[in-house]
Amino acid sequence: MLAGLVGLLVFTLVLAVAARADDSAARPPASTAPKDAVLAPAKDTAPADPADLGRGLRYLQLAAGTSDSAFAAALAAPALVLDLRVASNEPAVEERLRELLARATAARPLFILLGRATPDTLRTAIPSAAPGLLTLAAKDNGVAAGVMIAVDPARDRTAAEALATGKPPRELVEERIEKARFDEARLARDHANGHREREEAELTPAADPAAKLEKTAAPAEPPLQDLLLQRAVFIHRGLLALGRIPEHT
């Protein structure tokens, strides 16, 4: 009887080993799997996100043509600048505005940019006070807002229209400082030849007084900036620095 029991155990063990061997043969080893199958991202899955302003802040100009993927990304953003300055007066826009308002909290701020052309239906849908909600508008455009910015309403409108035509928001927020460029090779050559800035200035012909007067009378227009959007970015960075909202990368 003992010999029969031992024989049965040995037979069972042989069957288990054989089954495991068959299973291993049916599946190729993990090391032989092509790398592309693991590293290649799925195609056509990335949503059209709103513009990224850094550190979790996104920008969206709400319109009737805003795609579902862009709106879903705006809903999921840790912080959002919602631009209604050139929004249209359509039920779909108001519906989406109310959905974004419902998502705003103290930890997920919503900055809303208002303008003279913002439809009344959208302005009345925005509560006067709510946690995480802040409205911004140009000071002299006749629109009430939580933060009033001293900027020409016409220039503010121009900035909003530039964004609507595809201008990257960062280009209207980050101030460019034009600096004189110096050719180091030329400076070294002039120094070796004994030239000095004073000598070069003496050889430079005097400017035409009439041309100088014309240049003074008509200064170049400063580069276009969106001061409302810029202020929203500054406030967001301040909230991060104070620890009022969570940090995002």
In a domain, 64, yes or no: yes
In a domain, 154, yes or no: yes
In a domain, 152, yes or no: yes
Per-residue pLDDT of 87-107, as tens digits, reads 999 999 999 999 999 999 999
In a domain, 247, yes or no: no
In a domain, 18, yes or no: no
**What span, in angstroms and rounded, lies between the C-alpha atoms of 59 and 51?**
5
Model confidence pTM above 0.75: no
Q: Name which residue leads in pLDDT, 153 or 31.
A: 153
In a domain, 142, yes or no: yes
In a domain, 148, yes or no: yes
In a domain, 132, yes or no: yes
Q: What is the 3-state secondary structure (H, E, C) of the chain?
A: CHHHHHHHHHHHHHHHHHHHHHHHHHCCCHHHCCCHHHHCCCCCCCCCCCEEEECCEEEEECCCCCCHHHHHHHHHCCEEEEECCCCCCCHHHHHHHHHHHHHCECCECEEEECCCCCCHHHHHHCCCCCCCEEEEEECCCCCCCCEEECCCHHHHHHHHHHHHCCCCHHHHHCCCCCCCCCCHHHHHHHHHCCCCHHHHHHHCCCCCHHHHHHHHHCCCCCCCCCHHHHHHHHHHHHHHHCCCCCCCC
Domain hosting 56: range is 51-173+223-241
Tokens found for residue 13: 């063990």
Mean of pLDDT values over 216-240: 88
Please report, as a single letter, which amino acid is at residue 208. Answer: D
**What span, in angstroms and rounded, lies between the C-alpha atoms of 207 and 201?**
12
pLDDT at site 222: 81
Asked whether the predicted pLDDT for residue 165 surpasses 70, the reply is yes
pLDDT at site 174: 82
- Domain containing 60 — which CATH number? 3.40.50
Asked whether the predicted pLDDT for residue 182 surpasses 60, the reply is no
> Using N-to-C axis directions, what is the helix angle for 227-241 and 153-164, rounded to 10°?
80
Asked whether the predicted pLDDT for residue 220 surpasses 80, the reply is no
pLDDT at site 177: 46
> Structurally, how many domains does the chain consist of?
1
pLDDT at site 212: 56
